[in-house]
């Protein structure tokens, strides 16, 4: 990645493609901006006028109902016009190239592309080739990055535990296929988390984990002991081409989060999951729906965080709506 592709000449956010390359000040700016939007959803009129007249196109080459819906809601709460491109029936399925599609959308005066793609680097490629007035947000690309999910997770953590420097955070599950985990790790290290642990079977643990500044574990109970935050990951069976696990039952027995295992955590620990949850595989329903779970808060905060990223990329300052 070109070092400053995400930033303009004044150091302001222009695209949001990855957590990498952004410093703590920028991540805190995103979180602070999201905080200013967090109350919008509770208003009678759930809108602010910051992006009135702007056009945002959701380009989802990979299905994700929840992520696309939260991006759409975020854009509409900023008063933008939203275009949801149905990739399955779009011209790209008829032979038009991705760049041809982009050029046509640019000709319709689209101001922002929200891109989700199965290939790593797709959002970066689009950012490199789009018109100067267009911003690009990565809504998940291959195994590479999912930066807005990571930032909504950081926002959720900060709301419960403001001092990252005191936190022991455990990320559990399918690390091999998780773009969310990679973005979370970079964000946590940038924000100064005291300790980041990653816990997975050997088959789902990438070899380069230590180079990311984390502590790997293959024993769940050892890895989550005294943790302040536990982030459970979804088993991404659709990305598994080989036999990474003996069975889901075996995975649950060794790595599933149960009520009994919650006793190993810090007494005030919170439990997170980026969703969708495989109940009875990654965690019990009693844990997912229990008092330590902040999973639905993650969904709610996702709208505020995406509003923040959109408004910052469009160089619009929140506060004008009040």
Catalytic residue numbers, as ranges: 66-67, 94, 116, 146
Q: Using the structure block, give the residue that is written with the tokens 């959720």.
A: 156
User: What is the distance in angstroms between the CA of the first residue and the CA of the last residue of the chain?
Assistant: 38
Question: Between the CA of residue 3 and those of 74, 169, 185, what are the distances in Å?
Answer: 28, 29, 20
Structure-block tokens of residue 113: 């592309």
Alpha-carbon distance of 317 to 51, in angstroms, equals 10
Alpha-carbon distance of 97 to 244, in angstroms, equals 35
Residue 275: name the closest of 236, 303, 224, 305 by CA: 236
Burial class (CB in 10 A: 0-12, 13-18, 19+), 180: buried
DSSP track, 3-59: TTTTB-TTS-B--B--STT--HHHHHHHHHHHHHHTTGGGSSS----TTTT-EEEEE
Alpha-carbon distance of 135 to 305, in angstroms, equals 16
Q: What 3-state class would DSSP assign to 140?
A: strand
């Amino acid at each position: 990645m070109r070092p400053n592709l995400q930033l303009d000449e004044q150091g302001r956010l222009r695209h949001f493609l990855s957590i990498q390359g952004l410093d703590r000040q920028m991540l805190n700016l995103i979180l602070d901006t999201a905080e200013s939007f967090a109350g919008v959803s509770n208003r009678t009129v759930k809108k602010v006028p910051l992006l009135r007249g702007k056009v945002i196109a959701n380009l989802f080459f990979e299905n994700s109902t929840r992520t696309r819906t939260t991006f759409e809601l975020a854009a509409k709460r900023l008063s933008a016009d939203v275009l949801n491109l149905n990739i399955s029936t779009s011209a790209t399925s008829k032979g038009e190239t991705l760049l041809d599609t982009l050029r046509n959308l640019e000709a319709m005066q689209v101001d922002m592309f929200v891109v989700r793609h199965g290939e790593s680097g797709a959002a970066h490629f689009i950012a490199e080739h789009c018109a100067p007035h267009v911003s690009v947000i990565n809504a998940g690309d291959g195994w590479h990055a999912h930066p807005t999910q990571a930032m909504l997770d950081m926002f959720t953590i900060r709301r419960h535990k403001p001092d990252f420097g005191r936190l022991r955070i455990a990320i559990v599950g399918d690390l091999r296929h998780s773009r969310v985990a990679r973005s979370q790790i970079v964000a946590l290290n940038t924000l100064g988390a005291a300790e980041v642990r990653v816990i997975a079977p050997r088959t789902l643990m990438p070899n380069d984990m230590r180079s990311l500044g984390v502590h790997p574990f293959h024993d769940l109970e050892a890895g989550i002991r005294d943790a302040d935050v536990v982030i459970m990951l979804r088993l991404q069976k659709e990305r598994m081409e080989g036999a990474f696990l003996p069975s889901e039952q075996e995975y649950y027995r060794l790595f599933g989060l149960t009520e009994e295992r919650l006793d190993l955590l810090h007494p005030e620990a919170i439990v997170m999951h980026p969703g969708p949850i495989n109940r009875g595989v990654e965690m019990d329903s009693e844990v997912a729906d229990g008092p330590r779970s902040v999973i639905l808060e993650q969904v709610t905060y996702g709208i505020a965080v995406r509003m923040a990223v959109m408004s910052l990329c469009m160089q619009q300052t929140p506060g004008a709506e009040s």
